Structure 1
């Protein structure tokens, strides 16, 4: 018989940043809030509420501007970033903060990093932990 309590959602996951072409680890990590983390749930619920309110108001689904969608993705990623290590810019360590994350993720030359982290956020298996059996 399977004991359901042996597996649970992890509140976060540490994502190893890899080179976008070679896949080699770059020695940097980013901690991302898992699907059940309160900060992530809050931003997801706010997005759903906004969409539902717009549908209730007009009676139809209105498509948002792609530029707004891109900004929303950056904000979502910055909100769900809980910490990082090993990230520097021009030889200087970049201290983690939400505003630093927004600035980093908005950098047009770092689309590869943004894509890597957004992809990791959608991989639910990264946010699962085994629990000790009693």
Structure 2
């Protein structure tokens, strides 16, 4: 039964009815960086923006990942495209959640990184995110 469900999900992900997303352009990305650290911004773009920004567009195989299918709710929880509009409290809460999720290894989710290896976080990337997330949030400009 599980095999049939997996095959059905794979078929849906491969179906020709699914639109191929256009390559992300600079206009689709948030105009303001989330962090002052370019390394952190690069990590966020590579591993988080697919689900946590309105400019994210995942590869076709992500459609079989239950976590990616819930991406719209992920954007509701944290949307880096809206980061500059967050007040200090909301940024602080988001940073705390990022720190907890990265520390616990629940972000990026395993079912997504199993399909998209480029979203996996190396130890040095995790440390950079944890260092950034442990900083106090600055007010929105």
Tell whether the structures are fold-level matches, with TM greater than 0.5. no
Structure 1 or 2: more helix by fraction: 2
Structure 1 or 2, whichever has the larger Rg, is 1
